[in-house]
Amino acid sequence: AYIITEPCLDIKDRACVEVCPVDCIYEGERFLYIHPDECVDCSACEPVCPVEAIYPDDQLPAELAEYAGINADFFTAVTQLGSPGGATIVGPVETDHPAISRQLGREH
Ligand code: F3S
Ligand code: F3S
């Protein structure tokens, strides 16, 4: 699966959402999360992110390794959304993974 990492925080450009053919990129309060089971590894999202926040899981830099769990846990322990089969029907969720929530705000 593809994984969204730290640069997305408080940026939330959403270009990735526009190009994902399976609507598997879900919006939280300060970050977006790719559903690890719904992602079909098409790679469309990676080049369109203006802050280069997206990586395939097998190319995730070591310093961003925790983001694999952050994306996955959002759908289980954090929101218990499970696998809804599409972000549009869920809409923005007004919460984030605790590892995201505790990060300080970014200057715009
Ligand atoms: Fe979606 Fe393809 Fe990325 S399925 S999350 S656009 S790799
Ligand atoms: Fe975030 Fe980049 Fe998508 S900033 S919302 S991962 S286009």
Please give the full DSSP string across 33-80, using - where no structure is assigned: EE-TTT-----SHHHH-TT--EEEGGG--GGGTHHHHHHHHIIIIIT-
Q: Is residue 107 part of a domain?
A: no
Give distance in angstroms: CA of 34 to centre of ligand 1.
Answer: 8
Nearest protein CA to atom 3 of ligand 1, as residue: 45
Domain residues for the domain of 93 are 2-101
Q: Give the tens place of pLDDT for each residue, 20-61.
A: 999 999 999 999 999 999 999 999 999 999 999 999 999 999
Ligand 2 within 6 A of CB of 106: no
Task: Starting from the CA of residue 92, give the closest ligand.
Answer: 2
Q: Is 23 in the pocket of ligand 2 (CB under 6 A)?
A: no
What is the pLDDT averaged over residues 77-106? 96
Q: What is the pLDDT of residues 24-33, one digit of tens each?
A: 999 999 999 9
Ligand nearest to the CA of 9: 2
pLDDT of residue 107: 64
Predicted model pTM = 0.96
CATH number of the CATH domain containing 34: 3.30.70.20
The answer to whether residue 16 is domain-embedded is yes
Domain count, the chain: 1
